[in-house]
Amino acid sequence: MLKQTKVFRDNQFVQERIMDSNDLERERGITILSKNTSVSYKDTKINIIDTPGHSDFGGEVERILNMVEGILLVVDSVEGPMPQTRFVLKKALEFGHAVIVVVNKIDRPSARPEFVVNSTFELFIELNATDEQCDFQVIYASGIQGKAGLTPENLGDDLGPLFESITRCIPGPHIEKDGALQMLATNIEYDEHKGRIAIGRLHAGVLKKGLDVKVCTSEDSCRYGRIGELYVYDKFNRVPVESVEAGDICAVCGIGDIQIGETIADKVFGKPLPSIKVEEPTVKMSFSINTSPFVGREGKYVTSRNLRDRLYRELERNLAMKVEDGETADTFIVSGRGTLHITILIENMRREGFEFMVGPPKVINKKVNDKLLEPYEIATVEVPEVHMGAVVELLGKRRGQMFDMEGVGSEGTTLLKYKIPTRGLLGLRNAILTASRGTAILNTLFDRYGPWAGDMSTRDQGSLVAFEGGTSTSYAISSSQDRGQMFIGPGVDVYKGQIIGIHQRPGDLALNVCKKKAATNIRSNKEQSVILDTPLDYSLDDCIEYIQEDELVEVTPQSIRMCKNPKFTKKTRIPELLACRWVVHVHFVPKQTS
């Protein structure tokens, strides 16, 4: 769409996934932040907003839905609607937006457009769509070829049928052109020279550069400000303008304390628009300062004041996240939609130079009428039949209840659908990959709060813990790897209490991976060769899924380590006696007489 509307020059180099401008988005291949641009088609300006599809970033979707009048629902011509599609589509239908279904990748040899359209229609019915919304326009397209058409057999030479459907099926903005000025701030950006920039759609009136305005909240508390700079989005650039009319999306500078959800209104007659409401978080994690012996080696910001300022600054633009002070002055509780939602924040802070510790994820329970409720999610697992038994057993141990099972394709793959407590999903992804030898695909979606499912065990193995600091050696690791799988190799600095591997049995085991081979005066023609297993390479997501109640993840700009929480050292029962290399028991027997 961007290429065919001449957003780029003919000889301009354009990266793939141009809207995913964040480094983290490109690395993970997902959309994390909502971003907007605009294109022009036959004298019609079309504003486009790219939103995340993962339910953990649903707050990004909920806050921008009042800026649009319709959506393009892009589905694969083979796979059909994905589980994560359900959340975004549900929110759009609740707003009453018009929907155009785009069946993409129609040029694939295994494309099955009729099945995909029927599956999409069934999804609309499940989400209680209206009759008008169920009568959606279907466009068949091939994004890589830049072609679209009304039938899968007859594609045009370009995306003209898609643009025509947008201008025909999606209505213009519902605005009050002659009304009092109203603009809801739905996004916040920051510029080193211009300060805070508020982005939103103008619902009524005309906004002009240098205009005195009133900034209102839903509680009718107002303050005054002045518009410093005014921008609109043209193609892929932010263009300065003198005025903006109702219906267009613009960016406003000059109001240094504006927040998401506040209304920029007329100074005299302005009234606030309804504030943005997002769903409550379901998972929380504790953030605290780094207390390991390696503190300050790699990070730039290590104090509790730095950590507090950064976390509360995140709340200015991340509406789905909450931050609270913990039990101590250097501990903070961060709540989000899921572990991925909080992990993205951790990764961003790590790249900014912060050094801190993170506790295990915990679900946020509720009490209604003296009954304990916990969040449940819908887990969809696509797994080959040969590994289905191991996956079913794993989900059953975590209180999962299967409600649907169907075959997918001709490759012997089965699609399992479970209703499972959010507690059971913690650490489930790695366990399923291990049980299926890396062939299973897991997708989850928040369902609702339900009755407490009871106790469950999410990890059957303990940890290998270092009880002595120093530098790891090949000699020590060669004997330690018989106890389980190691996280480290030789030549790595470790400290006492650091988790260095996974124990092959339940319970923790303390090991010394820093001991050196004793020097003797016996000469040998050949030293004994040491064969070491390849250590496990756990990412940040893997570490957060692995840790238990008495463990922490140490996050620095260069390293990710796991360690035992000092508060729980007495409960881990790591015997100090294991520091001895040998224990000798001598028993004297009296000499027998004849």
| Per-residue pLDDT tens digits for 246-297 | 888 888 998 888 888 888 888 888 788 888 777 788 899 999 999 999 988 8
Percent of the chain beyond pLDDT 70? 91
What's the pLDDT at 429? Answer: 83
**283-363 topology per CATH:** Alpha-Beta Plaits (3.30.70)
What's the pLDDT at 525? Answer: 47
Kindly report the CATH number that applies to the domain delimited by 463-517+528-579: 2.40.50.250
Query: Among 39, 27, 124, which residue's Cα sits nearest to residue 75?
Result: 124
Q: 493: which strand partners?
A: 471
Stretch 96-122: mean pLDDT: 90
What's the pLDDT at 571? Answer: 46
Minimum mean pLDDT range among 72-86, 239-253, 321-335, 522-536: 522-536
Q: Is 463-517+528-579 the same fold as 283-363?
A: no
Q: What's CA 586's distance to the chain center, in Å?
A: 60
Contact 210, 244 (CB under 8 A): no
Average per-residue pLDDT for the chain: 84
Stretch 195-216: mean pLDDT: 88
Q: Does residue 298 have a pLDDT over 50?
A: yes
What's the pLDDT at 7? Answer: 73
Q: Does residue 28 have a pLDDT over 90?
A: no
| Per-residue pLDDT tens digits for 49-65 | 888 877 777 777 877 88
| Per-residue pLDDT tens digits for 425-456 | 888 888 888 888 888 888 888 888 889 888 88
Q: What is the pTM of this model?
A: 0.81
CATH pick for 366-451 out of 3.40.50.1240, 3.30.70.240, 3.20.20.70, 3.40.50.880: 3.30.70.240
Minimum mean pLDDT range among 31-40, 328-337, 338-347: 31-40
Q: Does residue 355 have a pLDDT over 70?
A: yes
| Per-residue pLDDT tens digits for 63-74 | 788 788 888 999
The ranges assigned to domains in the chain are: 23-169, 182-266, 283-363, 366-451, 463-517+528-579
| Per-residue pLDDT tens digits for 565-580 | 887 765 444 444 333 3
Instruction: Answer yes or no: CATH 3.40.630.10 is held by domain 182-266.
Output: no
Stretch 77-88: mean pLDDT: 81
- Kindly provide the residue ranges of all beta strands, DSSP E only, lying in 506-568, ordered along the sequence: 509-511, 551-555, 560-564
13 band by pLDDT with thresholds 50, 70 and 90: low
Helices (H), 474-539: 474-480
Please, which residues have CB within 8 angstroms of residue 544's CB and are 6 or more apart in sequence? Answer: 285, 339, 343, 346, 358, 360, 361, 553
Q: Does residue 542 have a pLDDT over 70?
A: yes
What's the pLDDT at 333? Answer: 94
CA distances from 6 to 3, 9, 111, 249, 310 (A): 5, 7, 30, 20, 40
Contact 103, 97 (CB under 8 A): no
Instruction: Answer yes or no: CATH 3.40.50.300 is held by domain 23-169.
Output: yes
Q: Which residues of 421-434 are buried (b: 16+ CB within 10 A; e: fewer)?
A: bbbbbbbbbebbee
- Nearest 5°: phi and psi at 68? -125, 165
DSSP sequence for 78-121: TTBS-TTHHHHHHHHHHTT-EEEEEEE-TTSTT--HHHHHHHHH
What's the pLDDT at 21? Answer: 67
